[in-house]
Amino acid sequence: MSTEFKVFERASNARRETPARTADARERFAAITREQPDPDRAAAERAFAAGKIHLARTHPAHDLAGREHALSAMAHLLGPAAAALGKPAGEQPPVPGGVGYGFFYNPAFQGAFDNGTALTWDIICPNTPGGNVNTWLYVTAMNRAALGVEAFVSYYAQNDPRFKIFDWARDPHWQTDIPWSQMADYLGTTNAHGQAYQTIRVWNGTYRLAPGRWRNEVWLWNHDTDGYDLIYMYEYDATRADQGDTDAPPFTGSWGPIVETFQAHYDHTHDLGCLGAKLQNLNSDGDWTIPTLLGASDSYVRTDNVGFQPRFLDPNYAFAVHS
């Protein structure tokens, strides 16, 4: 279903072109997170941290010094989660496999926003990953801001997936964790290249409210009400430099839509991926620009050769991969 963005409010003397406010679902999502926790939460959080450290350590666009800098910054942001990786645990996460397939922002584009940045995308998310998946697997993305959030689908083996939010700006980072049974209103069907895919549409924004004050927001398209639901919001103190710039953009915030992997090889998985990835910039006048498809000039494809092959690639705003 095609969805248009609408101007719906003025905040901090700035016109913000964001999803039309149809419902505030934050309390409901917070209650579900408290009442229906992930039974594998501790191991899942360790796996997430290990995966991000691995992504930084193996980033192909960085030289050795750049990788060390990225690792240091990542460890600082992850805090205790990164420190805990070196300690004994009841269940050690698997060795991360890296990026099965997906888009990373070019450095100049990653930092090329003024007062805010937002990513809209449809997550291709079957009810199970299929194939030989026997541990974690994510379909995730960031909006370019280093202190933004990941709002993503998390798979574990062939269990029902969960929709999660990891906020890089706060501690604790883990905020929203929703079982699949509670996501029915947000699961739709999007057609691409002759296939009908189950998808979740996400608006993921980070923007400046005032000098030194920022906000992270996540909205999901509700197919029952035919509008967006605000499911997450967090305000915090930060500088523009903390969010990254074009001169030396941080590793955090550098990945667009990706399939993040935790196995050495994948075989016979269902299609996973991204449709219609669009970016916006909150410019110096306080206006959100028109959402623009992510292009090949602003990003590149990374694959760590763990068995995923593209079903199709629309450079660089859509892909589906299988194995």
| pLDDT tops 50 at residue 10 | no
By DSSP bridging, strand 116-124 and strand 272-282 are: antiparallel
CB 158 within 8 A of CB 136: no
Single out the residue of 310, 305, 301, 278 nearest to residue 291, CA to CA. Answer: 278
Cα–Cα distance measured from residue 12 to residue 27, given in angstroms and rounded to the nearest whole number: 24
pLDDT tens profile 142-168: 999 999 999 999 999 999 999 999 999
Tell me the CA end-to-end span of the chain in Å, nearest whole number.
Answer: 28
What one-letter code names the amino acid at 129? P
pTM: 0.86
Q: How many CA atoms lie within 13 A of 283 on its CB side?
A: 7
pLDDT of res. 3: 35
Collapse the DSSP code of 107 into the 3-class scheme (helix H, G, I; strand E, B; otherwise coil) and give the result. Answer: helix
Question: Biggest alpha carbon distance in the chain?
Answer: 52
Percent above pLDDT 70 for the chain: 85
pLDDT of res. 72: 73
Cα–Cα distance measured from residue 257 to residue 112, given in angstroms and rounded to the nearest whole number: 18
